[in-house]
Amino acid sequence: MTVTRFQNLPLADRSREWDGDAADDRVRKWAGAEEAPDAAYRDAHVWYDGDEPQNFGSYKLLIADVVDGKLKAVPRAVMAAGGIMQGARGGVDIPQGEVGRVKAHLAKYYDKMGETAPWDR
């Protein structure tokens, strides 16, 4: 089980709407991961179960979408993931020992957006 490496993805426009299901479809197609996850698909997420990397269900906290042919972090997705990590949306099923690293990963995107992560406010 592991937190993905910080990709420092460019940010999508702040006004971009977030639809995680639609973004997942676009990321799978962009990554060429329509049959099974690959490294490019993994880069769009913050965490995945390294014991089962072949399962799409192993990937959690999608924060990116394909915009103009490029993978970009979507501010509203980062904020949604931040809310999940705060428990606002029922949490996410990841090991407690990984929570700090997930928050640190997300905090880098909050910083990039010029904001403070909710757990640091």
Please write the tens of the pLDDT for every residue from 12-40: 999 999 999 999 999 999 999 999 999 99
- The predicted-structure confidence for 82-108, as pLDDT tens digits, reads as follows 999 987 555 788 888 999 999 999 999
Q: Is the pTM of this model over 0.85?
A: yes
Terminal CA-CA length for the chain: 28
Alpha-carbon span 83 to 107, nearest angstrom: 12
Domain count, the chain: 1
Which pLDDT value is given to residue 7?
A: 95
Domain that holds residue 54: 2-120
Which pLDDT value is given to residue 90?
A: 56
Which pLDDT value is given to residue 62?
A: 98
Alpha-carbon span 115 to 5, nearest angstrom: 21
Structural contact between residues 78 and 109, judged by C-beta atoms closer than 8 angstroms: yes
